[in-house]
Structure 1
Amino acid sequence: MAHFAIPSHILVGKDALPSAVPYLKTYGNRAFIVTGKHVGKSPMMEQLKKTLEKAEIAYYVFDGITGEPTDKMIEEGLEQYKKTGCQFVIGIGGGSPLDSAKAIAAMAVNEGRIADYNGKEITGSVPGIVAIPTTSGTGSEATKFTVITDQEKDIKMLLKGDCLVPDLAIVDPDFTMDMPKSVTAATGLDALTHAVEAYTSKKAFSLTDVSAVSAVKRIMKYLPIAYQNGYDAKAREEMSLAALEAGFCINNSSVTLVHGMSRPIGALFHVPHGMSNAMLLKECLSFALDGAYDRFATLGRAIGAAAESDSDQVAAEKLLDAIEKVCRICEIPTLRAYGIKEEEFLPVIEKMSEDAIASGSPGNTRKTVTKEDCMAIYKKVFA
């Protein structure tokens, strides 16, 4: 049996935020806004504040999410949430504030530390969660997942639960216009990874397949345009829709090898998540291809990289070539060019491989993945 979970309400377009007022009022009259320093001073934040004021909803802004979220940031946010007497959370920004808003909501009604819930299903009723993305990639506005770094263990914890799916997703492509090129590239390739992995996952099924193919087609066409001209309204709109679709996909058919191997790099070397995904794409997908030639081939034909007459293997390889081209256009650096030193990377390959396998994501690949396979891939990626 397949289960398909998405936010209760999704508003898309230029008037999405003001149109959300009737829904916002149902979650309470005091909102806890979770964001970072940059978005906290942005026109989007001012628009959100004015919308809440007009709706007579009081608010408190917590802008302590600096970079990818850690357990310490969540503890600080949780303390402020409880102290201010807020009734629901609003995450506005990239994936980090959105993930943090979910984590704070979860811990507002659960005992212990957030690390206690690593790998466990979070259940029960949590405060209302509103997600307002300002990037096009993580899909956090549509998922039941939140990724938080455990600073003590140097691992990225994957926390999950249907109760973490946002009650309301507000998706306005205009909010993504000011994304820097590097963020456009990293988040866009994160969304591409979501869609490709979800489509080739063991857990894929008909509903996720439709969204995955649509997302891949949009991203392969419009990410290069958005990267080269961030103010192309059509490209930004298509990328916002693609990120949302890809979020639907991973929420219901999960991710595979790339994500499993990406999280340890982020935890140990602080490479942004979408960037580390992109760095791994070539080698991880090359490894996975022969486990699902037919699935990769379908994507290759869908984007026009392969002909109907091509064999599945050839079509799959042409998809990989097309993805590599987009990565080059988006100027994705190697691990070495990013500044990671060989003498720091090679000694932790075994730990990263163990953490990758332990995350469970590689197990969704349509091919057996061992710790030794991960170690070999890490070495190839660095070389």
Structure 2
Amino acid sequence: MMDMSFFAPRYMDIGAGAASRIAVMLGKLGLSRPLIVTDPMMVKLGLIARVTEPLDRAGMVYTVFSETVPEPVDRVIEAGVRLAADLDIDCIVAFGGGSPIDTAKAINILLAAPEGTRMRAFKVPVVADAAALPLIAVPTTAGTGSEATRFTVITDTETDEKMLIGGLGALPLAAIVDFELSMSVPARTTADTGIDAFTHALEAFVSRRANPVSDSYARAALGLIGANLRAVYHEPDNRAAREAMMLGATLAGLAFSNASVALVHGMSRPIGAHFHVPHGLSNAMLLPVVTRYSLHAALPRYAEAARIAGFAQPDDADQLAGAKLVDELDTINFDLGVPTPEAFGIGRDDWYGRRAVMADQALASGSPANNPAVPDAAAIIGLYEAIY
């Protein structure tokens, strides 16, 4: 018998038009006065109306906080806490991509802490199990899976460190997963978030902390994302592909929330903090090289993932299936226009000058220890050089 714990939102409404049912969900949970955390683009484009109009019709009173930034930072969290502390609210609704959801989680954790506490007080290995209010997450991208996880990632603006923060305080009480919200997402965001979701599924599947329940979610996610990642990029109006990707991203979130991510994410966070590369894009830059590095340490797992994702034939031997996986990850990056750090515009001296500190920060996050092949700092530095 295996001892394990599994964490997931209490209530999930999944399907086309689910966002229109937000007032119904809040009512079932006994809530009616949300703080809506979103980003400026959701407000500018009017997409925020997908949740505010149902709340208006239900006569619910809400406040919108839209000062979030693409890669969440502690100063924005603190501004959100100051606003929330002065409001008569009974819940937080996070609406947007991973950044608004991660921001809402962090606001909720910090809101429950003594006044004056800084976000850095909660970075791993601290366990952030306390939150002030029920959190309802409404993702608009098929990527981070944050609506289903007990993690958030926040940058410390004083140290340029992307801090991993985890615990029950970061787990939404409920999630609304409506693929129609992702239909108008730009191609670049579709690509980056889609590869991010595939990375979540793959890393959860090969993680040293994987368990039978997380495996079941990871397998389902690998199949959905592997079959539809290119379609949502090349055919943005393909509703079936969008629906499959949205479900796949949520399932991948459930998988990695309970099995943890590994080396790709450990190395990705410092790239985002130092060079402001979007999270999904930095994962995409790393995924083929890190997978090639790790392949020997969990070949049967990687081979199975390749078969499930449709990258290898069911009867391919493990060695062949593993090789096909890495080749396909390279091809996906080419097809979806993923740049190298150099092509992204990062100078060689700047990149090489920060390799050591990025390696230290990657190791400090704990994620590399979950990798099938556990690296030391020198190995991580070599991988940073390899992707440049």
TM-score w.r.t. length of structure 1? 0.97
Give the Cα separation in 2 of the matches to 1:245 and 1:155.
28
Corresponding letter in the other structure for 2:122? Y
1:115 aligns with 2:90: no
1:83 aligns with 2:81: no
CA shift at 1:309, angstroms?
Answer: 4.0
TM-score w.r.t. length of structure 2? 0.96
- What is the match of residue 372 of structure 1? 378
1:8 aligns with 2:15: no
The answer (yes or no) to whether the contact 1:220–1:326 under 8 Å persists in 2 is no
The answer (yes or no) to whether the contact 1:140–1:146 under 8 Å persists in 2 is yes
Q: Deviations over 1:276-308 (max 9, x none)?
A: 000011111111100000000111222333234
Of the three residues 141, 165, 180, the one matched with 1:135 is: 141
5+ residue gaps, structure 1, are: none
Corresponding letter in the other structure for 1:214? A
The answer (yes or no) to whether the contact 1:88–1:105 under 8 Å persists in 2 is no
Give the Cα separation in 2 of the matches to 1:149 and 1:124.
20
- What is the match of residue 161 of structure 1? 167
Of the three residues 77, 88, 97, the one matched with 2:100 is: 97
- What is the match of residue 310 of structure 2? 304
CA shift at 1:27, angstroms?
Answer: 4.9
Q: Deviations over 1:24-57 (max 9, x none)?
A: 1335332101011111233431121111122222
Give the Cα separation in 2 of the matches to 1:342 and 1:62.
38
- What is the match of residue 69 of structure 2? 66
1:329 aligns with 2:331: no
- What is the match of residue 242 of structure 1? 248
Corresponding letter in the other structure for 2:107? I
Q: Deviations over 1:315-364 (max 9, x none)?
A: 11111112222221111011101000001110110000000011000000
* Secondary structure, aligned partner of 1:11: strand
1:106 aligns with 2:109: yes
Corresponding letter in the other structure for 2:8? I
Give the Cα separation in 1 of the matches to 2:235 and 2:269.
29
The answer (yes or no) to whether the contact 2:261–2:370 under 8 Å persists in 1 is yes
5+ residue gaps, structure 2, are: none
Of the three residues 287, 290, 293, the one matched with 2:293 is: 287
The answer (yes or no) to whether the contact 1:69–1:148 under 8 Å persists in 2 is yes
1:352 aligns with 2:358: yes
1:219 aligns with 2:225: yes
* Secondary structure, aligned partner of 1:239: helix
The answer (yes or no) to whether the contact 1:99–1:140 under 8 Å persists in 2 is yes
Report the number of matched residues: 382
CA shift at 1:218, angstroms?
Answer: 1.4
Give the Cα separation in 1 of the matches to 2:68 and 2:308.
38
CA shift at 1:125, angstroms?
Answer: 4.8
- What is the match of residue 45 of structure 1? 48
Corresponding letter in the other structure for 2:11? H
Which range is displaced more, 211-220 or 169-178? 211-220
- What is the match of residue 185 of structure 2? 179
- Displaced runs of 4 or more, over 6 A: none
